[in-house]
Amino acid sequence: MSSTEQTLSIIKPDAVERNLVEKIKEIFKKNNLVIKDSKKIQISKEEAADFYKVHQSKPFYDQLCTYLSSGPIVVMILQGENAVILNRELMGATNPKEAKENTIRKLYGISIDKNSVHGSDSNSNAKKEIDFFFKH
């Protein structure tokens, strides 16, 4: 069954720095995702730690939070049919080396850390992540 959903997308510092924002937005738009809201911000390490708290027990947590707060990011609300899964398909696997051809991470990702984009992994996390950036 299909339904209109919203999901959160982040264009990470590596992609903002390389001027890939418009190219990545085009991929979403071409694939029927509407960008309902978008803003360029820079967050503190504490905010990154709060955003990624589901990963706090992981060995890469500290590095992940340092990285997300290292430069400007673009946060967006994407809307469309099955937006959560569609966005994840468009992003490709977390590790760019394992991502399929023509996915954002295959095209632009540099490493598992600098993998250019983040996307919510479920509807419930999408709601939390949208609230985190847009309802504060």
The residues annotated as belonging to the active site are 118
Q: State the Cα–Cα distance between residues 50 and 52, nearest whole angstrom.
A: 6
**Cα–Cα separations (whole angstroms), residue 113 to 15, 33, 122:** 12, 25, 21
Minimum CB distance to ligand CMP, residue 136 (Å) = 19
Which lies closer to ligand CMP via its Cβ, residue 6 or residue 120?
A: 120
Minimum CB distance to ligand CMP, residue 133 (Å) = 14
Q: State the Cα–Cα distance between residues 67 and 12, nearest whole angstrom.
A: 9
Which lies closer to ligand CMP via its Cβ, residue 1 or residue 93?
A: 93
Minimum CB distance to ligand CMP, residue 70 (Å) = 13
Sign of the torsion formed by the C-alpha atoms of 48, 54, 56 and 61: negative
Give the interface with ligand CMP as residue ranges (CB under 6 A).
Answer: 55, 60, 64, 94, 112-113, 115, 118
